[in-house]
Amino acid sequence: MSMKNLKSSLTLMALFLFSVSSVSKAFGKGGFQQVKSEIRKYTSNLPFRMPEIRSPEIPNRTFNIESYGAVGNGKVMNTDAFRKTIEACSKAGGGTVIVPPGLWLTGPIELRSNMNFHVSRGALIAFSKNHADYPIIKSPTRGFVVASPLYGFNLHDIAITGDGVLDGDGVTWRPVKKSKVTESMWKGFVKSGGVVTNDGKIWWPTKEAADGEEYLKNLFKTKKKSELTASDFLPARDYMRPILFMLSRCRNVLISGITLTNSPKFAMYPDRCEDVVIRHVKVNNEYWAQNGDGIDIASSKNVLLYKSTVTAGDDGICMKSSRDKSGNTALKNIVIADCIVYHAHGGFVIGSNTDGGMENVSVRNCDYIGTDIGLRFKSARGRGGVVRNIYVSNIFMKDIVHQAILFSTYYEGFGKGEGPQPVNALTPVFENFHIDCIYCEGAREAVRIDGLPEMPVKNVTISNSVISAQTGFFSDFASGITLKNVTLLPKTGDIYKINNTKDLTIDKGFCPQGTDVFMNVAGKETSGIRIMNTDLKSAKMPVRYGPDVQRNAVTQK
């Protein structure tokens, strides 16, 4: 063997041994034991009963993708090598699939049960730019979808670990709104090809993507759902776009350390999964990434997410739920802690689809910096359900673009201005929210609650909080709202604007020097407003009454 070949062989062996060693250190027996210890720490002393989260059991075998023909030079397509490695691991009864340092070009990767898919530090999985590499497949919960770059369906005992990077090359898939990018960026997209809509507002990377929505509308008109096949959706593949990392109906899941970037649509989407731990994950999507959600927990139960960081083009960390035939609450027992969200439409988000119901969610000790909204709870008529028992505490925010806290039952303006509608199973219900120790420096609006006339937002407590914003508190169609030891520091306007709100209590409030009006009340439904233990001497007018409000609607003690 020549000296050159000997050095090359020794280098490859060193990389292999490094990868095996890193797996052993992080997720050998001791690594999984550490995760179990962290699970106990984060799921104890909760305000609701949290079932034990079962972590995956992975056999002690390793399979390196290089042993199955993978080449990490960024030129060779490794789809077949990934498939062969995963198949060998599965046939052996499971183990760890090692992706060593390198630039690994590949098409979609399908995971299997009893497997740890370990992406080593220095490994960059670059998913194919060729959309023909992504077949239309049928998922257990979402019907026909474009195969995700990384996915698994109906699995158990599955881990995705390591400090490597998965790049979804989403820029080749996503539309771009002109309003979201700079003029020079917009010119660059247009110059690269693709299609611009007639109104000049949206750029699509291909004509197929631009025409996809209309194609699907016609498809659903001409064929019954039971008649559809994968081939029917191929013309709309570019429009449908895949989720970067999707798990559906999986249990005993660990996701640790990986970085997800440049996703075609949502970055991470565990859907109808149980017993899931997500830790030390990083999501990095461009701020202009259309539908570029960071981490979406969808209709899942017994989930722990901690010490993760998200930058997203849409919602940062988001809860979604969809109805199924069982009628049970779709999303339940969720713990989120010690996370950071930078740019995103919301730091912690619920909705907009809440029709499957949600309960028992704890969010604590998180930082939101530069998000559009801090705490964002959204739904709308026709996509609502019961959302209750939500506990949020120790949230620290800075430079929030819009609201620090927002409840909205008019997602994207749907139904705004309409009168009361009949209540049904798809009417949004937000109730029993407990929000404590919220600190925000800089927002356009401190708190906004927009309920429905037929279904007010109910039983929300905000306590021990300080929020500095351009404007203060607004509520419309809310009931049973309590603010205790809350300091709002608006730069302009009234501290509180109350409209069609019942049974609102302000206890130990704060009235800054120079306040013109502390509380402005309006709406014929307004009643039972109590201001307690609050010095209003600094206000020129403690309460301003609208013409349709009774004088006894507000009491001061």
∠ Cα 505 506 510 (to 5°): 175
Helix 3-27 × helix 29-42 angle, to 10°: 30
Whole-number CA gyration radius for the chain: 26
Q: How far apart are CA 56 and CA 113, in angstroms?
A: 10
CB 364 within 8 A of CB 322: no
Beta bridge partners of 143: 139
Average pLDDT value for the chain: 94
Average pLDDT, integer, range 285-308? 97
Q: Which long-range contacts (CB under 8 A, 24 or more apart) does 139-142 make?
A: 139/246, 139/248, 139/271, 140/248, 140/249, 140/272, 141/248, 141/249, 141/271, 141/272, 141/299, 141/322, 142/248, 142/271
Q: Which of 11-15, 395-399, 541-545 has the lowest mean pLDDT?
A: 11-15
The answer to whether 373 and 403 are in contact (CB under 8 A) is yes
Give the angle 251-253-257 at the CA atoms, nearest 5°.
Answer: 165
pLDDT number for residue 101 = 98
SS3 12: helix
Cis before 352? omega within 30 = yes
Question: Going along 370-444, which residue ranges are E strands?
Answer: 373-378, 386-398, 403-408, 429-441
Of the listed ranges 113-127, 231-245, 305-319, 413-427, the least confidently predicted one is 413-427
pLDDT exceeds cutoff 50 at 15: no
pLDDT value at residue 32: 79
pLDDT tens readout for residues 449-461:
999 999 999 999 9
The number of C-alpha atoms within 13 Å of 414 and in the hemisphere containing its C-beta is 14
Instruction: Enumerate the domain spans of the chain.
Output: 182-231
Structure tokens at 284: 């990095």
pLDDT of residue 91: 98
Q: How far apart, in whole angstroms, are the C-alpha atoms of residue 39 and residue 322?
A: 27
Please write the tens of the pLDDT for every residue from 393-451: 999 999 999 999 999 999 987 888 888 999 999 999 999 999 999 999 999 999 999 99
Q: pLDDT tens digits for 47-73?
A: 999 999 999 999 999 999 999 999 999
- Using CB atoms within 10 Å of the CB of residue 415, give its burial: 0 to 12 exposed, 13 to 18 middle, 19+ buried: middle
Query: Distance between CA atoms of 156 and 84, rounded to whole angstroms?
Result: 20
Average pLDDT of the segment spanning 535-543: 95
| Residues in a beta bridge with 62 | 96
Two tokens, residue 119: 């992406």
Predicted local distance difference test score (pLDDT) of residue 30: 61
